[in-house]
Amino acid sequence: MSTTIALLGQPNSGKSTLFNALTGLRQHVGNWPGKTVEKKEGTFTLGGVTYKVADLPGSYSMSANSDEEVVTRDFIASGQADVVCILADSSQLERSLFMLADYAGISAPCFLVLNMEDVAKEQGKKIDPDAIEKKLGIPVMMFSATDTKAYEKFYAVLERALKNKSQLNVSALENEYEKVEGYSKIKSQLDDGVISGYTPMWLTVKFMENDKVVSAKLKNALPDEKLKKIEETAGGQNGAIAMGECKFKWIDGILSGAVSSSSPGVQLGKLDRIFTHRIWGKPAVVLTVILGLIASFIPALPFMGIGSAIPMLKGPVTASLSGAGCPEIVISVLCDVVIQSLGYIVQMLGFVFGVTFVFGLLEEAGVMARISYVFDNTMGKLGLQGKSVMPFLVSFGCTMGGAGGARVIDNWGQKVLTIALAWAVPCGAAWSIVPMLAATFFGAWSVAVIVAILLTMLLHMWLTAKIFGRRLVKEEERCGMIMELPPYHKPKWGALLRYVLGRTKDTFFRVTKVVMLVCAIFWLLSYAPEGSNSILYNIGIAIEPVTKVFGLPWQLFLAFVASMVGKEGSVGVISALYTGGSYGAAFNAAMSGAGAAPDLTEILLANVARPEALAFIFAITFNLPCVVALAATYQEIHSAKWTAKIALYYTAVSLVLAFIAYRVGMLIW
Amino acid sequence: MKLSEIKENTKAVVNSLDGDARFISRITSIGLTPGSRVEVIKNDRRRPVLLYARDTMIAVDRKECEGIQVTEVRA
């Protein structure tokens, strides 16, 4: 039998760092059954015993403000956790003990970790954990994730909490609650165990705070006359405020005599004066993200080198296999599906590795909170957090990196919405072909085309946020910014690196499965044995009357289909198709990095009309970014349904945009 | 007066909070309750108000400030 530890803490309490340090590579991320909430679990072994660690989602309290918070408290109350490890930030104890105060009254055993010991020391704060432990009745320890010795201490305290099944002493807190009018009256109507896992005290407090979930549960559990009595007594808004005051009075009582501070008052640091500047804040954040993006390429380069070298295996593999008498079709599958996809995946994985590392660093150091602060108002209009600006900017380079970077968004719905919007940002591959195509057809007017693309992108994002936002980010869960700017921390390099490697490995296996599958389907569709045409070619010809409505003759439509696998390949496909080459061969060659025909400009101008070119440019720019981005999206949001929804939506919208561009083009030329 | 009307580098005490259950829960969980002492660190027009309370630097949207009544404390 294994032991389960649940980690509970406010944002910036160092919960993720502790989780990563404890579990290392043994992590599993999924969704809570039937919920749009991310579930993070991991394991570690100590003295032959396996411990399961659940990193509980949530924000500042145990209220029912979001699905995350409801999942968290249900998990604890269900008794699945043998012990709950509650984290608080030593440098801001007064505020961060709120989670403990809100937890008080839930029956599961717990212990308290006062994290960020190093930051508190730097600020001149002295904390006496033993004094706090005496008042709380549960094990209390100072902790600093960057201190390697701290873990031995952590394991010892964990053992102690498990052995004693330590329960929080809540009598002083209850004394405070009892002073509030109505509290005792309501509590007297609730029997022990009326809702399992929660004490009558906790339920009373939540009822007075107008907690919708608790109120609904009590409605089911209580006989009518009792329900009537408690509903009569509830104090509305004042009850909620009074409960909050009680919690902080209790915290003040716990800290008095246990904490001494010699901090000289507050001032914004140099960096924060820039980030919070009315004018320079936004440019500073954008610059930070761009520098981060550039820095991401440093760890990414070796991967990219290996990735681009992989397709070179095709030649020797083909030669040796055909020498051994292997059938052509097997060689084709091996080269055009397996080797091709691997090369592609490894290259992009490098980017994801870099982005995860650099942006994980920014998150741990506290810089991400500043990014969030600066862009929260703008992103809030789309239903997103300020942090969402980061995946958007990364997506100008690579959508897969954007999807990977969306990991720092702690709310599942907002994460899915962020990735869905990031897809609308034209990626590096689009930028490598679109300006060239535009210049070929429109000369100096290509600048206008680029501007039109950028405007369309903004409109697209706004519209997509409207369409998907309602389902993903509930209106009542949206609220104006009330956030903390945590002090800057030193990152824990070892744990971060282990975590990033683990995630990269995980991404590799999951992404590979999806990419191979999609590539195999495309290969099958484009495979043409001697003397016959590929399925895709036949379909393209058959539905040309339809695709022409969108301004795409069959050659351009097939190139559009090819751009779903990778945008770089689509130009090669066009030049091959207009010069009588086969689709399959052209596509595979183009994806392996073969250049387009030298007389590409003439081929294009001779065969494609300007409105068609405009339609094509819009179609491939706003098409789904590529199969690797698709797979990465699936990996991040763990929902096949939403991944498919987003993919279909993008395909449809890109065709609509092509239609509009074509009609506009017809009016002009 | 409202929290957003306090000048930079001025201390104040929270008098009352007003808003829906969600707002009350968020604002108390970040440490602002009646009686809390706050210091406004930055208050630019059309930007969130930055304040320091309970050892924490907190950013609050101007719109959310509407629900936070405070009294200025003169040094």
CB atoms within 10 A of CB A97: 27
pLDDT tens sequence across A424-462: 999 988 998 899 899 999 988 999 999 999 999 999 999
Residues 477-496 of A with CB under 8 A from B: 479-487
Instruction: Kindly determine whether residue B58 and residue A268, on different chains, have CB atoms separated by under 8 Å.
Output: no
Cα–Cα distance between A393 and A428 in angstroms, integer? 11
Cα–Cα distance between A386 and A147 in angstroms, integer? 31
Span A561-589, mean pLDDT? 78
Residues of A in contact with B19 (CB under 8 A): 237
Q: Which residue has the higher pLDDT, A574 or A103?
A: A103
Whether the predicted interface score ipTM is above 0.90: yes
Span A296-303, mean pLDDT? 86
Distance (Å) from the C-alpha of residue B60 to the closest C-alpha of chain A? Answer: 5
CA distances from A525 to A216, A290, A456, A558 (A): 54, 40, 32, 11
Reply yes or no on whether the pLDDT at A66 is more than 70: yes
Cα–Cα distance between A11 and A469 in angstroms, integer? 24
pLDDT tens sequence across A211-233: 889 999 998 888 888 888 888 87
Span A329-355, mean pLDDT? 83
Reply yes or no on whether the pLDDT at A589 is more than 80: no
Please name which of A12, A643, A333 lies closest in space to residue B57, comparing C-alpha atoms: A12
Reply yes or no on whether the pLDDT at B55 is more than 80: yes
Distance (Å) from the C-alpha of residue A467 to the closest C-alpha of chain B? Answer: 25
pLDDT at A113: 96
Span A526-542, mean pLDDT? 81
pLDDT at A591: 62
pLDDT at A457: 97
Reply yes or no on whether the pLDDT at A345 is more than 90: no
Cα–Cα distance between A171 and A525 in angstroms, integer? 71
pLDDT tens sequence across A114-145: 998 988 888 888 999 999 999 999 999 999 87
The residues near A395 (Cβ < 8 Å, ≥ 6 apart) are A401, A402, A422, A423, A425, A427, A625
Q: Are A661 and A609 in contact (CB under 8 A)?
A: no
pLDDT at A24: 78
Buried b (16+ CB within 10 A) or exposed e, A503-522: bbeebbebbbebbbebbeeb
Q: What is the mean pLDDT of chain A?
A: 87
Torsion of CA A653, A654, A658, A660, to 10 degrees: 30
Residues of B in contact with A209 (CB under 8 A): 21, 24-25
pLDDT tens sequence across A351-405: 888 888 888 888 888 888 888 888 888 888 888 988 899 899 989 988 988 998 8
Reply yes or no on whether the pLDDT at A193 is more than 80: yes
Among A39-43, A399-403, A618-622, the range of highest mean pLDDT: A618-622
Share of residues in chain A with pLDDT > 70 (%): 96
State the pLDDT confidence band at A587, using cuts at 50, 70 and 90. low
Write the CATH number for B67: 2.30.30.90
Among A299-313, A567-581, A646-660, B35-49, the range of highest mean pLDDT: A646-660
Instruction: Kindly determine whether residue A266 and residue B24, on different chains, have CB atoms separated by under 8 Å.
Output: no
What residue ranges define each of the domains in chain A, with the CATH number in brackets?
3-172 (3.40.50.300), 505-668 (no CATH)
Cα–Cα distance between A333 and A331 in angstroms, integer? 5
A376 touches chain B (CB under 8 A): yes
B23 touches chain A (CB under 8 A): yes
Q: How many domains does chain B have?
A: 1
Q: Which residue has the higher pLDDT, A123 or B70?
A: B70
pLDDT at A164: 92
Cα–Cα distance between A4 and A93 in angstroms, integer? 26
Distance (Å) from the C-alpha of residue B74 to the closest C-alpha of chain A? Answer: 16
pLDDT at A6: 95
- Its domain, for residue B55, covers 3-73
Span A150-167, mean pLDDT? 92
